[in-house]
Amino acid sequence: MAGMVIIGGGLAAGSAVQTLREEGYDGDVTVVADEAQTPYQRPPLSKGFLKGDEGLDAVVLHPDDWYREQRIDVRTSTAATAIDPAAHTVTLSDGSTLSYDKLLLATGSSPRVLPIPGHDLPGVHMLRRLSDSEQLKSQLSAGGKKLVLIGSGWIGMEVAATARQLGNEVTILERDAVPLAIALGETMGNVFRRLHEEQGVDLRTSVNVERIEGTDRATGVLVDGQTVPADLVLIGIGAIPNTSLAEAAGLQVERGILTDASLRTSAADVFAAGDVANAMHPVLNQRLRSEHWANALNAGPVAARAMLGKDAVHDMIPYFYTDQFDLGMELSGYPPLMKDAQMVIRGDVDAREFVAFWVQGRRVVAGMNVNIWDVNETVQKLIASGEDVDLDALADPEVALDALVTA
């Protein structure tokens, strides 16, 4: 029998499955996940789960019994190898074929490979899957190891914080002059730089990584002619959307699977959500591909409702959060819109208690609250309104943020 087929084992897939049942769909639902685990969320992999503060129950979305009770067929350790949109079929790695009425592609993204000698040595890691986090955890949990991270994006910085808190020596190697500069710009990137250096992280910027050294396993990283000793190495230089399945099926792909605001692809009855979807955003009025938790959490339900023929639009303002040492942060906005924006600060940057706004003209396009809480919803409203704001009032902690929301 046909029904709903979801390809993927992450949060977008899991939240879509749950929504199908919550919306009253009673037909067949099949999840095709190439990992051994049922659908799970990824933020704990670099934070609480890696640190040992959280167990598997904080990672998986539902226990196995839930899927049985909901009559959901989860095919773990099984990959989709081909899609035939005309025939409405999916071919699986075990040779079987599934028919579908509606199909959701939630295939996620994969870590970008660093093409240098030694990148494939034992002891060199990338962090994307639960098994990756489990391997890192087994080596870092006792402390005393030398961890070298190549790249200072969000994954690298979060793992660095976790590893230091577990008592490991941590070195970060970054090609750019400032960590997180692509995501936040230099001013805010330096906030995180100071945080990590205060906690004993050896953060080396503007460096050229030449190769990973070792014979049977990684023992160091050659950087500008000098070797940085390592017991293990983590490469975190970004991710690439997993579009090969969609491309082979003839779907329109450009920096992700192209979708409309309801997450419909160019193929009839095929939808895409999560990291892999490059969706038209009705509020920001441009295409947007986000690799963050909140996008997957919200896009899955939108796709599910659209699959059921209901009105559904993915119009959430992009949101991201991180916890590193004693710093908690929430960021709302789309980084490409932040690139040439003016920055307005409310609060004390040196004390790491502030809200930073990125402003185009007098319009807020992004906001980041650091160790200040219960303001993110207002920040999102300021962005979504598209209205001009008084920049002096925006910077003044004595002026309530709510008072600046006019739409």
Note whether 143 and 211 are same-domain residues. yes
Phi, psi (deg, nearest 5) at residue 251: -75, 155
| Whole-number pLDDT of residue 407 | 56
Q: What is the CATH number of the domain that holds 86?
A: 3.50.50.60
Are 267 and 194 found together in one domain? no
Distance between CA atoms of 19 and 32, rounded to whole angstroms?
A: 17
Sign of CA dihedral 327, 329, 335, 337: negative
376: domain CATH number is 3.30.390.30
The closest of 255, 261, 252 to 299, measured between CA atoms, is 261
Given a contact cutoff of 8 angstroms between Cβ atoms, the answer to whether 32 and 98 are in contact is yes
Q: Which letter does DSSP use for residue 37 in this model?
A: S
Same domain? For 229 and 248 the reply is: no
pLDDT score at 406: 80
Give yes or no: residues 147 and 182 share one domain: yes
Tokens, residue 3: 């029904």
Same domain? 28 vs 67: yes
Domain finish residue from 213, 235, 257: 235
Domain that holds residue 11: 4-110+240-307
| Residue 116 is assigned to a structural domain of this protein | no
In a domain, 188, yes or no: yes
Is residue 161 located within the same domain as residue 225? yes
Does residue 105 share a domain with residue 8? yes
Number of domains in the chain: 3
Assigned domain for 57 exists: yes
Q: Walk along the chain (407 residues) and give the pLDDT tens digit of each residue.
A: 689 999 999 999 999 999 999 999 999 999 999 999 999 999 999 999 999 999 999 999 999 999 999 999 999 999 999 999 999 999 999 999 999 999 999 999 999 999 999 999 999 999 999 999 999 999 999 999 999 999 999 999 999 999 999 999 999 999 999 999 999 999 999 999 999 999 999 999 999 999 999 999 999 999 999 999 999 999 999 999 999 999 999 999 999 999 999 999 999 999 999 999 999 999 988 999 999 999 999 999 999 999 999 999 999 999 999 999 999 999 999 888 898 899 999 999 999 999 999 999 999 999 999 999 999 999 999 999 989 999 999 999 999 999 999 85
Would you state the pLDDT for residue 268? 98
Q: How far apart are CA 269 and CA 263, in angstroms?
A: 11
Q: How far apart are CA 36 and CA 48, in angstroms?
A: 21
179 and 253, same domain (yes or no): no
Distance CA 142, CA 127 (A): 19
Res 1: pLDDT: 63
